[in-house]
Structure 1
Amino acid sequence: MFVLEYKVKPKPNQIEAINEAIRTTQFVRNKVLRYWMDNRGVGKTELFR
């Protein structure tokens, strides 16, 4: 599990970049989880490729 934590006084463009990174992380996590659920028997090494 990823834990994303930050303490900053960000500028608007930095806020957008942080939000994009969070959305990307959630997207990848959900895609990997869906792949694992649809293809039982898949090991850890296949998930990280």
Structure 2
Amino acid sequence: MGNAKSGALSKEVLEDLKTNTRYSEEELCRWYESFQRQCPDGRISRAEFE
């Protein structure tokens, strides 16, 4: 999980997030796309996280 560079959340991860959070598929996808634009290498620093 998290190591794939496919550009989209895997169906498995998306289903897990939808099942275990209150967020919709659309919202999760928007957040993920935003993260990819802000952190293209897939990493976030402690300062950026805070």
TM-score interval w.r.t. the shorter chain?
Answer: 0.3 to 0.5
Q: Say which structure, 1 or 2, has more relative contact order (CA 8 Å, 6+ apart).
A: 2
Larger radius of gyration: 1
Specify which structure has the higher proportion of helix: 1
TM-score, structure 1 as length reference: 0.40
